[in-house]
Amino acid sequence: MIYLKKIVTNTGGIWLMNASDNNLSRQKFKTKVEYERYVIDLIVKDSIGNYTVSHLENGAPILNSNENSYISISHSNDYFAVYYSEVNAVGIDVEVIQRSLLKGRHYFLNENELSQDWTNDELHIIWGVKEAFFKLKQGKLENLINYITIDKIIQNEIIIKCDEEIVEFEIYLFKGGVLIYSL
């Protein structure tokens, strides 16, 4: 497999792939979901081992036959990302930066965030952080918009405070997209 990026964190590993770099095409599949599951299964088998991905009722992914592990999955267009850890829960999001999020920013920014001037790239990063945090918490959040507030983006990281918990996210920019993952 050809990966755009492999990242080793303190608690696990991340694999980012562009499916077209591996001659994988959506056209060979009846549905988009079949295609996405196929690509994710390829990444998991190639990077983690011979496991099958299934999902909890809330949609959070799990590896069958590996209960002592955590996995987070994301895809956007032809980009796919898998984050695996045997230590703690993880969250990841990959976004292709191609459209303006300015019109839809009310959907994911709270009042404090709406009062700031964000670039389109920063809006994609904020969206990605909130998606990755939601995955980190396995969807067990109500009102995500107001649960966390992003005050600023500092180079390649964002640190958020939620209740008494501090969570750090790393940002990896690549041509046409962004990968955000919890540390």
Domain boundaries, the chain: 5-90, 95-182
* Mean of per-residue pLDDT scores for the chain: 90
Per-residue pLDDT at 103: 83
Query: Quick check: helix, strand or coil at residue 106?
Result: helix
Confidence bin at 147 (pLDDT 50/70/90): confident
Q: Which residues pair with 134 in a beta bridge?
A: none
Enter the tokens of residue 138: 């396995």
If we measure between CA atoms, which residue out of 24, 158, 135, 120 comes closest to residue 79?
24
Per-residue pLDDT at 17: 97
Enter the tokens of residue 14: 């991340």
Q: Which residues pair with 74 in a beta bridge?
A: 81
20 Cβ contact partners less than 8 Å away, ≥ 6 residues apart: 78
**pTM assigned to the model:** 0.92
Residue with tokens 């599951």: 37
Is 80 exceeded by the pLDDT of residue 63? Answer: yes
